[in-house]
């Protein structure tokens, strides 16, 4: 219990530990996990050249200078959210703006959100689509190295918008009110339209132009985000044959392929049976 309490306390010393926001119902949860290099008692002197290169730094001095700039921004944000004259909503906007500009780590590619040494942006190619695609991310998903929604901005040239960011929330509302697009959320809920139904509706309302919003969050976070949309917004569901297989389905397919590869063909099986007789 003491160990767990110490770990929890250490999180409040790193970037984004803004517990002052939790009292506001307009703000999402605010406990942000941070990389160990942002802890105030962490010493970077033991970093190797490969570790520095992976973070896009050539010298240890450059690395430490970047950390100092990061800490200054963090301290300025913590000072702002601790003020009593700032509303909870304004604190939430400030937190999201900080995540949007500073990302989660002091050394990240701004496009694929990986460390510079692992950046995959040069390997991505563009795909032209007629549908306008918008990825609406939960703040906890923004700048995560494991997030894949950010790759859509390079693959599909789509918009990445953060829930809780003031300008991004205004952009979402602008899309919902835009008569030039038939706006729909990718959501398998009751009353959701199929692709052909949505296309027919878009032909009648916006000359076939569709704006598709995909929610990027955990299921619990996505449900909360979905509940904030207007009741009449359209939803799009994908038919089963277009859905990507789950991890368990992929494992089952691999096991079936392995068994079929090991099983002898029917002719060889009959020959074995004749020889045994």
Query: At CA 99, angle to CA 95 and CA 102, rounded to 5?
Result: 125
At 198, list the tokens.
């949505």
Closest CA relative to residue 56, chosen from 98, 12, 103: 103
CA distance 236 to 195: 7
Query: At CA 48, angle to CA 44 and CA 52, rounded to 5?
Result: 75
CA distance 136 to 149: 9
| DSSP, residue by residue, the chain | -HHHHHHHHHHTTSTTB-GGGGG-TTS---B----GGGSTT--GGG--HHHHHHTT-SSHHHHHHHHHHHHHHHHHHHHHHT-TTS-HHHHHHHHHHHHHHH-SSSS--TTT-S-GGG--GGG------SSEEEEEE-TTTTT-TT--GGGHHHHT--EEEETT-HHHHHHHHHHHH-TTSEEEEE---TTPBPHHHHHHHHHHHHTT-EEEEEEES-HHHHHHHHHTS-TT-EEE---GGGSPPPHHHHHHHHHHHHHHHHSPPHHHHHHHHHHH-
Residue 222 contacts residue 215 (beta carbons within 8 Å): yes
Determine the pLDDT at residue 25: 37
Mean pLDDT in order along the chain per 10 residues (277 residues): 36 32 36 39 66 84 88 93 95 94 87 91 89 95 91 89 96 95 91 92 94 94 93 88 70 77 62 65
Determine the pLDDT at residue 94: 95
Determine the pLDDT at residue 88: 94
Closest CA relative to residue 135, chosen from 155, 110, 105, 115: 155
């Amino acid at each position: 219990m003491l160990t767990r309490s110490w770990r929890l306390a250490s999180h409040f010393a790193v970037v984004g530990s803004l517990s002052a926001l939790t009292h506001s119902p307009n703000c999402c949860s605010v406990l942000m996990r941070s990389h160990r290099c942002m802890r105030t008692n962490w010493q970077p002197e033991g970093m190797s050249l490969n570790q520095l290169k992976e973070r896009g730094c050539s010298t240890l001095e450059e690395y430490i200078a970047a950390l100092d700039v990061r800490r200054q921004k963090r301290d300025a944000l913590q000072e702002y959210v601790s003020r009593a004259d700032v509303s909870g909503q304004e604190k939430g906007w400030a937190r999201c703006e900080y995540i949007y500009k500073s990302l989660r780590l002091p050394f990240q590619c701004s496009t694929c959100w990986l460390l510079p040494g692992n950046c995959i942006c040069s390997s991505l190619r563009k795909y032209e689509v007629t549908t306008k695609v918008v990825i609406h991310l939960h703040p906890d998903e923004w700048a995560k190295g494991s997030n894949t929604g950010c790759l859509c901005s390079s693959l599909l040239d789509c918009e990445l918008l953060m829930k809780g960011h003031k300008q991004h929330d205004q952009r979402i509302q602008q899309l919902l009110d835009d008569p030039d697009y038939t706006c729909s959320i990718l959501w398998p809920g009751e009353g959701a339209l199929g692709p052909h139904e949505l296309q027919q509706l878009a032909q009648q309302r916006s000359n076939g132009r569709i704006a598709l919003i995909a929610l990027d969050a955990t299921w619990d976070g996505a449900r909360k985000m979905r509940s904030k949309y207007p009741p009449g917004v359209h939803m799009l569901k994908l038919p089963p044959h277009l859905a990507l297989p789950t991890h368990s389905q992929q494992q089952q397919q691999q096991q079936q392929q392995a068994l079929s590869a090991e099983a002898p063909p029917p002719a060889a099986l009959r020959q074995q049976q004749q020889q045994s007789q």
